[in-house]
Amino acid sequence: MIRTLEGGFMDSLIHAMGFKQALEAAKANRWEDAEEILKSLQEEYFALCEENRALKEQLTEVVEILDLSQSMRFDGRKYWLTTEDGEDGPFCQVCYDQTGTLVRLQEQKRHWQCKGCGNLFIKQGHPLEKAAATNRSRMPSQLVKNPIPLFVK
């Protein structure tokens, strides 16, 4: 349950009134009423403790994710994790960008392969990479010789 600032104030006020009611019941020798009120307050206290623990856990996860993202370096095709010992990786750009998952690329002779999504990353300096870079640098008009009409009137 998420509490607003106003809700937090109201909850505090209700709890204070609950303790006051328990005290008044005890002063009037209504021990069963006082015990019931205190049990109710205790249950609410335990629920708040659990909620507080869960929120702290969520906050820790967010901090870890932020720390991880700040430790990532993108080389234009793959991610590398910067650690105290140097760099670790490479990791799949597609998997990390889409799901935030670090999937280590498996090194092959001419490329890196992601076992998560199946993408291939050609190694730098390899003749295939140079050919791919050349094709990417061409203008679209150079790639398509004769346009294909999509809509005929």
> Does 139 have pLDDT greater than 80?
no
Query: Could you tell me if 115 and 124 are in contact, meaning their C-beta atoms sit under 8 angstroms apart?
Result: no
Q: What is the full DSSP assignment across 1-30?
A: ----HHHHHHHHHHHHHHHHHHHHHHHTT-
Spatial CB neighbours of 95, under 8 Å, sequence gap ≥ 6: 101, 102, 103, 114, 116, 117
Spatial separation of the C-alpha atoms in residues 131 and 73, rounded to whole Å: 25
- % pLDDT > 90, the chain: 18
> Does 110 have pLDDT greater than 60?
yes
Domain spans of the chain? 5-69, 72-138
> Does 47 have pLDDT greater than 70?
yes
How far is C-alpha 135 from the geometric centre of its chain's CA atoms? 36
- Can you give the pLDDT at residue 10? 60
To the question of pTM greater than 0.75 for the whole model, the response is no
pLDDT tier at 149 (50, 70, 90 boundaries)? low
- Can you give the pLDDT at residue 8? 62
